[in-house]
Amino acid sequence: MRVYLKFDFNTICKTVLREQLDILGIDYTIHGVGEIEFNRQPTGIEEQKMANMLGNYGIEIMDNQQVALVQRIKDTVTEWIMDEENPKRFNFSTYLSEKLDYTYTYLSSIFSETTYSSIENFVILKKIDVAKNLISQNDSTLTEIAYKLNYSSVAHLSAQFKKTTGLTPSTFLKIIQKRKERALTQE
């Protein structure tokens, strides 16, 4: 039997962080995704234990503030795209600036220096990843997906999808359906 799952990565990460940090017994506050504030400076031994415990879940403690800021940008982009309650009918650069409390120019510069890509490109890649998941689930029409992801039209979504993946959304869906059919016949 095969089961298909949907994940909320923000919830999973926060849950893992809480569970692991509670084991250490250090008072902390989680600020958004990817930022923790400790009420006291952890000792070297506590920092090592924390790094090992979180490392088991693929969570890495970052020393470099620029790398940490880039991760916060990525997390904020993901949060914005995944938030179904929040209509995305406003300027993303303004949202990002207000959320992270830096000018968009500064954020864009740090992001580009660190990743050799633009925030805009990262947003497109994340939106296409979400579109692929939504198409795979086959619960939404392309019109609904385009609206959820703040595309001006289905044609705009389709053009970006093809440019990014090399496939049209309908071709991608056919491939996914064939894979599912093969998986069912092999069980």
Averaged pLDDT for residues 12-34: 84
Q: What does residue 51 show for φ and ψ, rounded to 5 degrees?
A: -60, -45
pLDDT bin (cut points 50, 70, 90) of residue 107 is: very high
Computed over every residue of the chain, the mean pLDDT equals 86
pLDDT at 186 over 80: no
Tokens 């954020």 correspond to 107
Which range of residues forms the domain containing residue 41?
Answer: 9-55
pLDDT digits (tens, 9 = 90+) for 160-182: 999 999 999 999 988 988 888 88
Select from 9, 151, 164 the least CA-distant residue to 75: 9
Q: Based on the domain organization, do 71 and 130 belong to the same domain?
A: yes
What's the pLDDT score for residue 34?
A: 66
Distance CA 153, CA 158 (A): 9
pTM score: 0.66
**Cβ atoms within 10 Å of 62's Cβ, excluding its own:** 13
Q: Based on the domain organization, do 44 and 125 belong to the same domain?
A: no
Averaged pLDDT for residues 98-107: 92
Q: Based on the domain organization, do 171 and 136 belong to the same domain?
A: yes
Token output for 26: 């250090």
Instruction: Yes or no: say if 161 and 100 are a contact pair by the CB < 8 Å rule.
Output: no
Instruction: Yes or no: say if 110 and 66 are a contact pair by the CB < 8 Å rule.
Output: yes
Distance CA 142, CA 17 (A): 36
Residue 60 counted as domain residue: no
Averaged pLDDT for residues 87-100: 80
pLDDT digits (tens, 9 = 90+) for 134-159: 998 877 889 999 988 888 899 999 99
Q: Based on the domain organization, do 32 and 70 belong to the same domain?
A: no
Which of 36, 55, 74 is a domain's end point?
A: 55
pLDDT bin (cut points 50, 70, 90) of residue 187 is: low
Distance CA 80, CA 95 (A): 9
Averaged pLDDT for residues 99-127: 92
At 150 the three-state DSSP class reads coil
Distance CA 102, CA 138 (A): 38
Q: What does residue 86 show for φ and ψ, rounded to 5 degrees?
A: -95, 110
Which stretches does DSSP call E strand in the chain?
28-30, 36-38
pLDDT digits (tens, 9 = 90+) for 26-66: 888 887 656 788 888 888 898 899 889 888 988 878 667 88
Distance CA 143, CA 162 (A): 16
The count of structural domains within the chain is 2
What's the pLDDT score for residue 42?
A: 85
Q: Based on the domain organization, do 34 and 75 belong to the same domain?
A: no
pLDDT bin (cut points 50, 70, 90) of residue 86 is: low
Q: Based on the domain organization, do 42 and 16 belong to the same domain?
A: yes
Residue 26 counted as domain residue: yes
